[in-house]
Amino acid sequence: MAKVAFIGLGVMGYPMAGHLRVKGGHEVTVYNRTAAKAQAWAAQFGGRAAATPRAAAEGQDMVFACVGNDDDLRQVTIGADGAFAGMAKGAIFVDHTTASADVARELHGAASAAGFGFIDAPVSGGQAGAENGVLTVMCGGDAPVYEKAEPVIAAFARACRLMGPSGAGQLTKMVNQICIGGLVQALSEGVHFAQKAGLDVEAVIEVISKGAAQSWQMENRHRTMNEGKFDFGFAVDWMRKDLSICLEEARRNGAQLPVTALVDQFYAEVQKLGGGRWDTSSLLARLK
Ligand code: NAP
């Protein structure tokens, strides 16, 4: 059993922190910007709510975070009353935010200089994965630090792997998002075409999902897409944040991402339709 803190009790962080308490059996302190959520978590799971990230981090073996973007992450780590000021020497900070590889390296550098570890550890598996404690966690950082962190992360992970040095977790998550973008557009076009052709979309998917066209998106989203419902998971606003991180990194490393860039613009159109909070399968909505 470890002493841990969790910063950022959103859709992902709230259940992840819960698994640390219930499944991991750890002593958990939480911090959330909107304090009421931290109070509710503490009442539900039996932990302590701290007033600042710094206070949450003090005296902990490990501190987790899952906030929005690079700026949010900087704010809760190196900002005023940020967690880094409270970290004990030898402790470990694990960041589950989907952020840039740059900010991961920057914070890893700051952590190393102050004598504690930093692992970038973005996740895949969505809200359901967080609630069921079966996330995939892609990590970057130093091997000895990772080896200590992995058994604690296991409370909410089905798979967890060190991908390389600091930033490698975020780079791996970028690959994940690049693969999803083009695939969801192709699935949207397939469903759209089937509808226009007057086919029974359910029957079409039942047949083709047993063959080479099969995908997680197809299995889990085709029914709601066919019904024009787009309220089932990862939001377009978040996806655009992630794709902009991918495109920025590609500008630097020279990778060519023509379909990803196009799909990013399609998502911008979905936002203009008022779909910023719709799930990512709403690429279908702009075809109509
Ligand atoms: P969310 O529900 O919007 O929660 C965001 C959390 O971060 C909230 O607790 C929020 O506090 C806190 N926060 C944001 N900015 C902050 C700041 N400047 N200072 C302090 N706290 C701040 O988001 P989420 O869905 O949990 O996603 C969190 C991260 O996981 C994102 O990077 C996202 O891309 C990634 N992710 C999400 C999913 C998914 O399916 N949702 C899947 C994989 C990865 P308040 O409560 O005060 O707003």
Same domain, 12 and 110: yes
Instruction: State the pLDDT at residue 232.
Output: 82
Q: Which one has a higher pLDDT value, 121 or 1?
A: 121
Residue 219, H or E segment? helix 216-226
* Domain shared by 41 and 143, yes or no: yes
Q: In terms of domains, do 7 and 149 share one?
A: yes
Ligand 1 atom closest to the CA of 8, numbered from 1: 9
Which string of DSSP letters, residue by residue, matches 198-218?
T--HHHHHHHHTTTTT--HHH
d(CA 142, CA 164): 8
The answer to whether the CB of 287 is under 6 A from ligand 1 is no
Ligand 1, residue 124: give the atom nearest the CA. 43
CATH code, 55:
3.40.50.720
Phi, psi (rounded to 5 degrees) for 51: -85, -25
Which tens digits make up the pLDDT trace of 223-232? 999 999 999 8
Instruction: Assess whether the C-beta atom of 39 lies below 6 angstroms from ligand 1.
Output: no
Identify whether residues 189 and 59 lie together within a single domain.
Answer: no
Please check whether residues 118 and 203 belong to one and the same domain: no
- Is residue 11 located within the same domain as residue 134? yes
Q: How far apart are CA 123 and CA 129, in angstroms?
A: 9
Q: Give the end of a domain, one of 165, 182, 207.
A: 165
Question: Does the structure show a pLDDT above 90 at 69?
Answer: yes
Question: Do 223 and 145 share a structural domain?
Answer: no
* Residue 259 shares a structural domain with residue 219: yes
- Alpha-carbon distance of 242 to 70, in angstroms, equals 11
The answer to whether residue 247 scores a pLDDT higher than 90 is: yes
Where is the domain boundary, 113, 134, 165? Answer: 165
SS3 category, 130:
helix
pLDDT tens-place string over residues 132-189:
999 999 999 999 999 999 999 999 999 999 999 999 999 999 999 999 999 999 999 9
In percent, the amount of the chain with pLDDT more than 90 equals 97
Overall domain count for the chain: 2
- Per the annotation, the verdict on 229 as an active-site residue is no
What value does the mean pLDDT take over residues 235-258?
98
10 lines ligand 1 (CB under 6 A): yes
23 and 135: one domain?
Answer: yes
pTM summary value: 0.96
Same-domain status, 124 and 190: no
* Domain containing residue 189: CATH number: 1.10.1040.10
Looking at the fold, whether 110 and 133 belong to one and the same domain comes out as yes
**How sure is the predictor about 235, in pLDDT bands with cuts at 50, 70 and 90?**
very high
Q: Where in the sequence is the domain holding 83, given as residue range(s)?
A: 3-165
- Supply the mean pLDDT for the chain: 97
Residues 99 and 33 in one domain: yes
Per-residue pLDDT at 288: 87
Give me the residue label for tokens 């590889």.
101
> CA–CA separation, 45 vs 183, rounded Å?
38
Which atom of ligand 1 is closest in space to residue 122's alpha carbon?
A: 44
Which residue among 165, 181, 213 closes a domain?
Answer: 165
pLDDT of residue 242: 98
Name the helix (H) or strand (E) containing 117: strand 117-120
Q: What are the pLDDT digits (tens) for 175-216?
A: 999 999 999 999 999 999 999 999 999 999 999 999 999 999
